[in-house]
Amino acid sequence: MTTPPDISTVGIVGGSLGGLFHAVALTELGLDVNVWERSTGRPDDRGAGIVMQPSVAWFLSEFCGVDTNQVSVPVTHRQFFTKDGNVRIMPMRQQMISWGTIYKALRDKLPGERYHDGQPVTALAPAPGGATIHVGDAAHAVDLAVIADGSASGHRGLVAPGGASRYAGYVAYRGVIDEADLPQELATRFRDAFSFYDGDRTQFLCYFIPGDFGTTTPGRRRMNWVWYVRADASELERITTDRNGIGHSLSLPPGLIASQVHTDLLVRARSTLPQPLRELVEHTREPFLQAILDGRVTRMRNDRMLLTGDAAFVVRPHTAASAEKAAADAITLFHALQQAPSADAALQAWEQVRLAEGAAIYSQGVALGHRLGLSGMETTAATTG
Ligand SMILES: Cc1cc2nc3c(=O)[nH]c(=O)nc-3n(C[C@H](O)[C@H](O)[C@H](O)COP(=O)(O)OP(=O)(O)OC[C@H]3O[C@@H](n4cnc5c(N)ncnc54)[C@H](O)[C@@H]3O)c2cc1C
């Protein structure tokens, strides 16, 4: 592998999918890479579903040596429910994977000593020919800093001032159910399908994803559902306040939903959803939720500091492209550093390509949300980062 001579050390802020895609790709290039992640320990494998797109599949297979057919659940068609439970079928092959499966493949590939969890980056500063990453009392000089600290990025402003993400006016309630816990007749309704229900200013979708330890054996998989529901700012505050009265503002993890909010969800499911989908909500012990955000930037690079993943563009999940976008950021950087004559030329070329792609996916997501009646074309209230 050849890389520009003026980059040898890389520091990555944030060790979720975006940070890990970059860590693995840049380690493949022979660079000296370290990742600092704020949270501690491995997230458990109840991670929800992700539609596997080409860059994620390519990354897992080329860089992690994973046979993607072994770790994903194939669907052969989309089925669109009507309110009375009838379906319209559209053939369309896709592969469904889980967040946990991607995360595990990336962590397994990265040498453990390169991943520093429970170590938040407290400050980041440009330096001649690189950047300085502060973690607690330590200052790490690197030739390249990759900012992958997510939609509420605390460091985005160093590259793209004013690029905060905004609440789009609706949330995704989500649920994951062990296939073994579903009545067989119900599970059969969703076999081999990516299922949808488009209602009045709402959308529900579901598909099977791998189960424990990435298993894709029928009967041991998980059903993953997502239900988009409009919620104004006060409703958002109510539904993200957990059963102990603690506010979480933009998301609520499994196991914490307040009993009244859970009851309201079941009542809404009864009045809104076709029966098989309603039953999925009823079989979900621990629904969780995420606010849908919009975020875009006009720069992804400030000299030797790069913005990637959700720290750069927060795109709506209808595009099924966030993990995909982060993987593509990393693959593009890998090739740019391999091919360009200097680090500056590589980083400039990378920014040009990824800015255009990010902006296009962002606009596509906003338009899809609008078409579904979930929000207007533009969002207003700034909520994060
Ligand atoms: C309803 C829904 C459905 C989705 N479906 C899909 C889909 O089908 N396909 C798809 O591709 N994507 C999907 N996504 C999106 C996807 O899960 C992520 O958005 C994507 O993986 C990008 O992640 P990221 O690493 O950039 O950011 P994040 O996952 O937010 O990670 C940021 C990390 O940075 C860490 N961090 C923050 N601050 C610091 C600090 N100061 N120091 C150190 N660490 C720090 C955080 O702890 C976190 O681990 C979906 C999202 C939603 C809400």
Q: What is the mean pLDDT of the chain?
A: 93
Q: Compare 44 and 250 and report the one with higher pLDDT.
A: 250
pLDDT of residue 42: 63
d(CA 329, CA 345): 16
CA angle 122–127–128, rounded 5-degree value: 170
Query: Does the beta carbon of 175 lie inside 6 Å of ligand 1?
Result: no
Higher-confidence residue: 290 or 376?
290
For ligand 1, whether the C-beta of 143 sits within 6 Å is: no
Q: Which residues have C-beta within 8 Å of that of residue 256, sequence separation ≥ 6?
A: 242, 243, 244, 248, 288
Spatial separation of the C-alpha atoms in residues 201 and 227, rounded to whole Å:
11
Question: Does 34 have pLDDT greater than 80?
Answer: yes
Each residue's pLDDT tens digit, 177-210:
999 999 999 999 999 999 999 999 999 999 999 9
Residue nearest to atom 4 of ligand 1 (CA): 317
Name the amino acid, one letter, at 294. Answer: D
Q: What is the pLDDT of residues 69-103, one digit of tens each?
A: 999 999 999 999 999 989 999 999 999 999 999 99
To test the ligand 1 pocket, which listed residue (16, 20, 46) has its Cβ within 8 A of the most ligand atoms? Answer: 16
Domains of the chain (ranges plus CATH)? 9-40+118-164+295-371 (3.50.50.60), 74-94+166-292 (3.30.9.60)
Determine whether the shortest distance from the Cβ of 257 to ligand 1 is under 6 A: no
Identify any residues that bridge with 228 across adjacent strands, giving them in sequence order. Answer: 172, 203
Ligand 1 centroid – CA 230 distance (Å): 22
Beta bridge partners of 207: 224
267 HSE (CA, 13 A, CB side):
6
Counting residues of the chain whose pLDDT is more than 70, the rounded percentage is: 95
Q: pLDDT digit string (tens) for 141-163?
A: 999 999 999 999 999 999 999 88
* CA-closest residue to ligand 1 atom 13: 322
Distance (Å, whole) CA 222 – CA 96: 11
pLDDT band at residue 271 under the 50/70/90 scheme: very high
Q: What is the DSSP string of 311-323?
A: GT-B--GGG--HH
Pairwise CA distance, residues 356 & 152, whole Å: 22
